[in-house]
Amino acid sequence: KRVFMDYIEWNSDFEIGIKFIDNQHKMLVHIINRLYTTLFLKPKFLRENILEILQELRDYTQYHFEAEEAFMESHDYPKLSQHKRAHQDFIKKIEEFYAKLPQEDLKAFGLELLSFLKKWLLSHILTLDKHIKTYLTGLPIETPLDLYKVYGFFSKEELLEKFTELINHRREVISFMIFDIDDFYFINLRYGFDVGDLILEDFAKHLSNKLKEPNLWLGKFEGDRFAILLTDNESFLRTFQTIEKVFKVVENYRFELLEEERFEFIKFKISLGVVLYPKHGTDPKDLLIKAEIALKKAKEEGKNRWIMFTEQDYLEIKKTDEVKSILDEVLEKELVFPFIQPIFSTKHKKVVGGEVLLRIYSEKENRVISAGEFVKVALNLGYLDRLEEIMFKKLKNHPELPKFKGYMLFINRAITSFEKFERLIYEIEDWITLTQKVGCKMVLEVTEVSLINFVDLVPLIKEKTRQNNIFLAVDDFGAGYASFSYLLKFKPDFIKLDGDFVKECLQTEDNLKVLRGIVRLAKDLKVKTIAEFVENQEIMDMLVKSKVDLLQGYHLGKPMPVEDFVKIYLTK
């Protein structure tokens, strides 16, 4: 036999100190719990049960409101008229529910009724009714405004105030933890936000019951985010024990409901970030930010884990914020420019073209910034597509571009999503127009990772490029030594050997043998090879001896503005 927990457990926070009124309020809590159980655990006769509950609410309002108003009148309570208006509004609302009870979609109707009753409990009984006791005794009463306060949770502001108080009056180590539920949006997506809110309230009650300890305070922040504040000593033993206990408490939690005549058990995991006072700082607001950083790190490392804050994480976040600020300025003013790094023929030692590289200019720092400093942040922020779009616009409108007639222009693109693939197809249309207008040769570089992760899409790109005289290159070839099957399947026009792999060929004979085997295979398939990261004469000599077709690297030429490239390499 299943034993169901009450949605709302009666406790002293609900009491106003007048016995017969408290007993009648208990009846309302009982009705709310019955509705909750009906909605989630016993919905077989849902309409009949809701109808019965509505009738019980009708009866409740009659005997409770009459008795409460008579009591207030006998004691000359000054807010009697305000109470009567509130009571009439409640009765009217119940009648509206009664009148619109539907035949279908009863779950949504029941949730709406449950939400109304909960708000009445919190806003009327825990606020307005408590004034009766204040009037009779003259003692001020601090009343909770929501269920989280009933369960003993502080708001964010209150927990920070408590943190400040502890710092001012104690000398112990203080631990501050923030955690949230991994992928809680999936629960909202499947069951709806109303059910999601009920689950959070039920989970908070579970935490409150299981984490009742001296010098430990719980906080409920926005959304599905919770916090814990506790005192410790220099060994941090209590902190580690509490973290372990929190994860165990979460592991043992489940929310049970009946969906489509079968019971479902909602379970979840959490990610947690922790900071220590005074080790990581002395200002509670600053420590809150650092705890958020640690939580973010826990999410990035795979979720369902905890991370303690480190200064390195803080520096990385600050650096990311600085890069974002620069990128925002760059995009607003379109301070994006194409640079070109020359590519040389191994045989003739002449430039055959170049790779188009993304560069931005920061007015604040008064310098040109290479992609390595910002591309990861730009990708995470969703800025990269826009940066590439501006760069290509400036390339195709550059006055020096006609001088690239007969030369190759390599442009690197990574396929990271289907949306990116669609954008690339449209971009290739612009490349086709450009090759027809200028007479240059466009080469699309697709990363090896793109080949592996989007294997079904690459043939479509290959077909599109083949039909329009645009060449295809596989970038980072050899990075994982998993490229040979894709080389045979797609037969690109070029393969660009991974730079780290090229450098390793100087270290061991085995790597060099693999390199020469790739070059021989490519020649047999009539695929040209390009080596990147040619950083010194030793690497260059090794690549020439290995009969690599084309070379690219700082030893031969650095990336430069289009006009400089034309002046150095294309001016006869």
Residue 545 pLDDT class (50, 70, 90 cuts)? very high
Residue-level pLDDT at 3: 44
Residue 285: CB partners within 8 Å, gap ≥ 6?
160
Residue 101's CB is within 10 A of a number of other CB atoms, namely 14
Q: CA gyration radius for the chain?
A: 34
Cα separation values, 381 from 182, 316, 324, 325, 337, Å:
21, 15, 8, 12, 20
Greater pLDDT, 414 or 246: 246
Q: Is the CB of residue 206 less than 8 Å from the CB of residue 249?
A: yes
β-strand 550-551 against 336-345: which pairing, if any? antiparallel
Q: How far is CA 144 from the centre of its chain?
A: 32
pLDDT tens across 356-413, in order? 999 999 998 999 999 989 998 898 888 988 999 999 999 999 999 999 999 999 998 8
SS3 18: coil
> Is residue 81 predicted with pLDDT exceeding 90?
no
Residue reference for tokens 């309230």: 201
> What is the reported pLDDT for 63?
83
Q: Find the range with the poorest average confidence among 121-125, 247-251, 371-375.
A: 121-125
Least Cα distance to 361 among 332, 399, 395, 397 occurs for: 332
Q: Residue 145: which pLDDT band, with cuts at 50, 70 and 90?
A: low
pLDDT of residue 243: 95
Residue 38: is it exposed, middle or buried by C-beta count within 10 angstroms (0-12/13-18/19+)? Answer: buried
Q: What is the pLDDT of residue 362?
A: 93
Report the pLDDT value the prediction gives residue 69, as an integer from 0 to 100: 83
DSSP E strands, 363-397? 367-370
In this predicted structure, the answer to whether residue 50 has a pLDDT above a threshold of 70 is: yes
pLDDT beyond 70 at 480: no
Question: Side chain identity at 252, as an amino acid letter?
Answer: N
**348: burial class by Cβ within 10 Å (0-12, 13-18, 19+)?**
exposed
Mean of the per-residue pLDDT values of the chain: 86
Q: Which residue has the tokens 């040109």?
A: 368
Q: What is the pLDDT of residue 541?
A: 93
Counting residues of the chain whose pLDDT is more than 70, the rounded percentage is: 90
pLDDT at 217: 96
By the 8 A CB rule, do 560 and 339 touch? yes
**Tokens for 200?**
């959070």
What's the pLDDT at 174? 94
Confidence grade of residue 262 (pLDDT, cut at 50, 70, 90): low
Average pLDDT on 438-443 reads 91
Measured CA to CA in angstroms, residue 332 lies from 328, 335, 362 at distances of 6, 8, 12
CB atoms within 10 A of CB 480: 12
Cis peptide before 278 (omega within 30 of 0): yes
Q: Which residues have C-beta within 8 Å of that of residue 419, sequence separation ≥ 6? A: none
Which pLDDT band holds residue 481 (cuts at 50, 70, 90)? very low
Highest mean pLDDT among 24-28, 123-127, 423-427, 557-561: 557-561
Question: HEC string of 49-89?
Answer: HHHHHHHHHHHHHHHHHHHHHHHHHHCCCCCHHHHHHHHHH
How close are the terminal C-alpha atoms of the chain, in Å? Answer: 92
